[in-house]
Amino acid sequence: MSTFTLKHFTRAALAASLAFGAAAAMAQAPIKIGAFLSVTGPAAFLGDPEQKTLELYVERINAAGGVLGRKLQLVSYDSGGDAEKARTFAKRLIEQDAVDAIVGGSTTGETMAVVPLVEQAGVPFVSLAGAVVIIEPVKKWVFKTPHTDRMACEKIFVDMQARKISKIALISGSGGFDKSMRGQCLKVAPNYKIEVLADETYGGGDTDMTAQLTKIKNTAGVQAVLNAGFGQGPAIVTKNFRQIGLTVPLYQSHGVASKEFIKLAGPAAEGVRLPAAALLVAETLPDADPQKKVVVGYKRAYEERFKQDVSTFGGHAYDGLMLVVEAMKRAGTTDKAKVRDALEGIKGFMGTAGVVNMSPADHMGLDLTAFRMLEVKNGDWALVK
């Protein structure tokens, strides 16, 4: 009897797998969302919240009935920040797991290593990495959710224009983020009639930037200082800035948009301005703000589940997953080409990063309203009106 059932079962399984292409079988099979993220390794601060966010929201979407009447299934691999591993896992997602769409690529290097594969295989891919090169030039199957450093520069320059500032000094670190942002700021500064009078740099492990700041202080005509930096450096710059008695406005980048910066810089941080995602000030947004519902909802769900502060990186993963789900709903199918077209046509989608308006020429779809200009007041963030 037992052999009979086993044989029976095998035959049934075989028949089912043969009929896999048939519509009836497809309706039962889950929609596969592939992900490769730097959950461990040097970029774990990006990949960890991204992974948690994807798990949390795939669960929530399934609890609410799934997408197109089918459940979502997350297939996720840890690429450890290594581009070669990312490439291998992307092939696995495409060839072995046959996923319907990919959300992932915590760093620019991992994303760029995978771009040729998804372009060749034709799989919708939403990257979670920052650099402009991912979407410029536009690649048919590649989209991304985070803002770019160029937008941060532009947001700062717009604020400077409003304050009638036209001559500034730039100070930046030597890391990948710092270098990329410095380059972008120098590139777009002329568009805002902003002249960069001084361009100073410091090393990654430096503990004192007084020398560079003194040089800036002695440069005639500097009306504001912009620090393109990530990590500890900007907090030290802020402290030294006050110590040598500089009084012009100081701008920081979105790279230090966390409570950690205010803690490290202490009272010196008062009055510092920086562009940041709305997620950072979710609860203090005015109720009329159309983004408030989304960011507060994500923040509460994440913090309740994982008992740790929400980060903008996890927010990028939320946006990526929701964009793919939205595109599948609009397309009414998981057909890859149709989902891609739907992704490209998404307009007015509200994510944690801002309003997304995709177009064939813009596979990120964010504009400067995605950033909020914040000022440090009484040891906390305050929206600049």
Give SS3 for 207: coil
> In the complex with other proteins, which residue's Cβ is closer, 112 or 279?
112
Residue span 287-316 as binding mask against other proteins, x where in contact by CB under 8 A, dash where not: ------------------------------
Under rule CB under 8 A, residue 132 binds other proteins: no
Q: Among 37, 46, 94, 198, which residue interacts with other proteins (rule: CB under 8 A)?
A: 94
Q: Does 179 bind other proteins (CB under 8 A)?
A: yes
Neighbours of 138 (CB within 10 A): 14
* Shortest Å, Cβ 213 to other proteins: 23
Is there binding between residue 138 and other proteins (CB under 8 A)?
Answer: no
In sequence order, what E strands does 4-43 have? 31-37
Q: Of 90 and 366, which has the nearer Cβ to other proteins? A: 90
- Integer Cα distance of 315 and 200 in angstroms: 32
Strands (E), the chain: 31-37, 72-78, 101-104, 125-127, 142-144, 167-172, 195-201, 224-228, 250-252, 273-277, 349-350, 355-356, 371-377, 380-383
Position among 47, 109, 233, 354 found at the interface with other proteins (CB under 8 A): 109
Q: At 272, list the tokens.
A: 């510092």
Cα dihedral across residues 77, 176, 315, 349: positive or negative: negative
231 scored as a contact of other proteins (CB under 8 A): no
Paired strand residues for 31: 72
Q: Pick the stretch among 91-99, 229-237, 290-298, 364-372 that binds other proteins (CB under 8 A).
A: 91-99
Residue 117 or 327 with smaller CB distance to other proteins: 117
Distance CA 55, CA 160 (A): 40
176 binds other proteins (CB under 8 A): yes
Q: Choose which of 53, 106, 108, 240 interacts with other proteins (CB under 8 A).
A: 108
The sign of the torsion formed by the CA atoms of 254, 87, 96, 329 equals positive
Residue 371 and residue 326: Cα distance in Å, rounded?
Answer: 23
**Residue 365 backbone class (left: φ over 0; alpha: ψ -120 to 50; beta: rest):** left
88 scored as a contact of other proteins (CB under 8 A) = yes
Measured from the CB atom, the residue of 96 and 243 that comes closer to other proteins is 96
Beta strand pairing call for 72-78 and 31-37:
parallel
Of 133 and 196, nearer to other proteins (C-beta) is 133
When asked if residue 96 is in the footprint of other proteins (CB under 8 A), the reply is yes
Interface with other proteins (CB under 8 A), residue total: 28
Q: Candidates 17-25, 58-66, 175-183, 346-354 — which segment interacts with other proteins by CB under 8 A?
A: 175-183
Q: Which is nearer to other proteins, 39 or 373 (CB)?
A: 39
| Cα three-residue angle 328-329-332, rounded to 5 degrees | 80
User: Contact positions toward other proteins, by CB under 8 A?
Assistant: 40, 77-78, 81-84, 87-88, 91-92, 94-96, 107-109, 112-113, 115-116, 131, 133, 174-176, 179-180
